[in-house]
Chain A
Amino acid sequence: DTAVSQTPKYLVTQMGNDKSIKCEQNLGHDTMYWYKQDSKKFLKIMFSYNNKELIINETVPNRFSPKSPDKAHLNLHINSLELGDSAVYFCASSLLSANYGYTFGSGTRLTVV
């Protein structure tokens, strides 16, 4: 069973379009995250939700909007896609109180053309 699953794995879309990435975890974790990895492999946190509540909101354009319908799901919607949004987006989850390692999904490679 996949612990943290993201869909889609690949996303190719034109500038100006709106797209969504979905994430689900079956680990019983209470906190979920979105990370962006650029072409130089730098991993930067974007958002974090704990029990459906937004707890981390880094400096990210308003075009990015996360949504957590329940603690097992975290989606990312991106409006008006730009070329610079091309990257790999990783979902991750953890148990906040445990302060231990994160479990990452396999990533969504977004290419904006």
Chain B
Amino acid sequence: GQQVMQIPQYQHVQEGEDFTTYCNSSTTLSNIQWYKQRPGGHPVFLIQLVKSGEVKKQKRLTFQFGEAKKNSSLHITATQTTDVGTYFCALSWGKLQFGAGTQVVVTP
């Protein structure tokens, strides 16, 4: 079945800096979803990308779907302490299959 690799597994970021997390697949994806899970919390749906080359923004978060629909990225600018948590990409193909996640720690 389809699988995604997420990198990096961990990300330490200084407050105010930018960072990017990546989701890669060896096969073409029909769509990709992104979720955020705060420490001690539950996954919360952020966005779904469907079209090749699609770029969507949510305030400081920019989501991108690759032209070949084999990868996706989440870029956060000017990181704040509220950005701490684990960010998951997930494939939706009859069931939602999650990547391993990127755990983000923000230092003030």
Binding site for B on A (CB under 8 A): 33, 40-45, 48, 56, 90, 92, 94, 99-107
Contact = CB atoms under 8 A, between A and B. Distances in A.
In the A-B complex, the 8 residue pairs with the smallest Cβ-Cβ separation, listed nearest first, are A101-B45, A43-B98, A104-B42, A104-B43, A106-B42, A107-B42, A56-B95, A45-B95
B42 A43 contact: no
Main secondary structure of the interface of B (DSSP, over half): strand
Contacts of A105: 42
Residue from A48, A92, A104 with most neighbouring chain B CB atoms (10 Å):
A104
Contacts of A100: 45, 48
10 contacts: A41-B100, A43-B98, A90-B42, A90-B43, A92-B43, A92-B96, A101-B35, A101-B46, A101-B47, A106-B42
- Chain B contact-residue range equals 20 to 34
From B95, B97, B98, name the one whose CB has the most chain A CB atoms within 10 angstroms.
B95
Interface of B: 31, 33, 35, 37, 41-48, 86, 88, 92, 94-98, 100-101, 103
A45 B92 CA distance: 12
B33 A101 contact: yes
A101 B48 contact: yes
B98 to A, nearest CB: 4
Nearest to A90: B42
Nearest to B41: A106
B107 to A, nearest CB: 20
A45 B100 contact: no
